Amino acid sequence: MNLTSLYDFIEQNERSMVALETLLTSIPALAPEAGGQGEFKKCAALTEWLLSNGLTDIERFEAPDSRVESGVRPSIVVTVPGANDDFSVWIMAHTDVVAAGEESLWEANPWTVIEKDGKLIGRGVEDNQQGLVSAAFAALAFVKNGVTPPHTVKLLFMADEEVGSTYGISWLLKNTKLFRKDDLILIPDGGDSKGETIEIAEKNIMWLKVRVDGKQIHASRPDQGINACLAADDLALRLHAMEKKFNAVDSLFEPDHSTIEPTMRQANVMSVNIIPGTDVFYMDCRILPCYALDEVLAESRRIADEVQNEYGVNISFETPNKSESPATPVDAKIVTRLKKALKEVHGINARTIGIGGGTVAAELRNAGYHAAVWSTLDEQAHMPNEYCRIKNIIADAKTMINLMAQD
């Protein structure tokens, strides 16, 4: 298949790509946890744009959510029929974004795209609208040029990625049968500035909320109290030292080892002359896949029992976040075909990596699907003055075209 006309279509539609980015940023799609009303209005505007531009095979899926005015969190699937429907080539992006944060840190209104020095600046332009726009125009290139891809192409523009995916990919996996085991799944929601890394694995993630209860007392009489802060400090250091026990190394990841870090701490007392009777802190655990999180949790409990006995405190745990997933094999079709596309289009010899963060790929992998995370980006997600490079939207669209066109 000669792809020149499809690549030319991408080059010729740079301004249309910028316009779509501008439209999407102008409609904040914030989760109710961030004070927003979800993706309803943004999804409606995106659907109207897709229909008006010739991508007409669209299905809408609505996860119920009583917290938003619309009552639903919508995701849409766009289909471009292929010559064969033995498997589908999926490209997935999310429509929700995070809040702008402190707006004084922005050059201008974060919900109005600014074009400057080959960049688009605005909330969501990179995370994840860059991938969305590249995918939409890659699919559109086939439709506008009258070219049928060898296999069915599907685009999933989903809700609720930023706050746990309960109303997005999690809901879709539980309530639909969209995916088949042989499908190829690309998620353009992470990468590097050269587009040469393909994420195939994630560290297991656990957030550990630790509550230490002692006895509050005036600071002049520590002998009559039980200092929860002191016990908590000791426990945090001992939990951090578990890195020496779970000490395997895997060069797929950076850093190449498990990390167990004390992070957030809740306020305990309001005065310096009070010994706290309660102290609450959190541990962020990023564990190599060779260890089960239950192993780490059991060791944490053993250590906590030691501290509990030594200090006379009571220690309880909660796990507000706990997720683990298998890796996508390095020889999975999505990986080998993506590598081929990057080589043919850009001359890039891509390599596979693992990451410490979490993406929707983990849920797909847990469900038995092979997914790869890749994009060409400067990792601006969630930052003030978030930007994407226009050339990256174009380059990634061409890579996606090649992936869609492989027989």
CATH of the domain at 293: 3.30.70.360
What integer pLDDT is reported at residue 1 of this predicted model?
Answer: 84
Instruction: Identify the domain boundary among 261, 293, 317.
Output: 317
| Residue 357 banded pLDDT, cuts 50, 70, 90 | confident
CA–CA separation, 340 and 372 (whole Å): 14
> What's this model's pTM, rounded to 2 decimal places?
0.88
Residue 266: which domain range?
204-317
Place of tokens 């992470």: 190
My answer on whether 73 and 112 are in the same domain is: yes
Share of the chain above pLDDT 70, in %: 100
> 72-80 and 58-64 as β-strands: parallel, antiparallel, unpaired?
antiparallel
Q: Is 199 a catalytic residue?
A: no
My answer on whether 93 and 190 are in the same domain is: yes
- Residue in 39, 65, 96, 324 annotated catalytic: 96
- Residue in 161, 183, 202, 363 annotated catalytic: 161
For residue 353, give the nearest of 379, 392, 327 by alpha carbon. 327
My answer on whether 218 and 164 are in the same domain is: no
pLDDT tens column, 142-153: 999 999 999 999
Contact 234, 307 (CB under 8 A): yes
The DSSP code sequence of 10-42 is: HHHTHHHHHHHHHHHHTS----GGGT--TTHHH
Q: Is 96 a catalytic residue?
A: yes
Residue 98 has which token pair?
Answer: 């995070």
pLDDT tens column, 283-316: 999 999 999 999 999 999 999 999 999 999 999 9
My answer on whether 8 and 83 are in the same domain is: yes
My answer on whether 191 and 208 are in the same domain is: no
CA–CA separation, 288 and 281 (whole Å): 23
358 has pLDDT over 90: no
The count of structural domains within the chain is 2
Share of the chain above pLDDT 90, in %: 98
My answer on whether 160 and 308 are in the same domain is: no
My answer on whether 357 and 330 are in the same domain is: yes
My answer on whether 82 and 159 are in the same domain is: yes
Mean pLDDT, the chain, integer: 97
| Residue 406 banded pLDDT, cuts 50, 70, 90 | very high
Hey, is 265 helix, strand or coil?
A: strand
Place of tokens 């190394």: 249
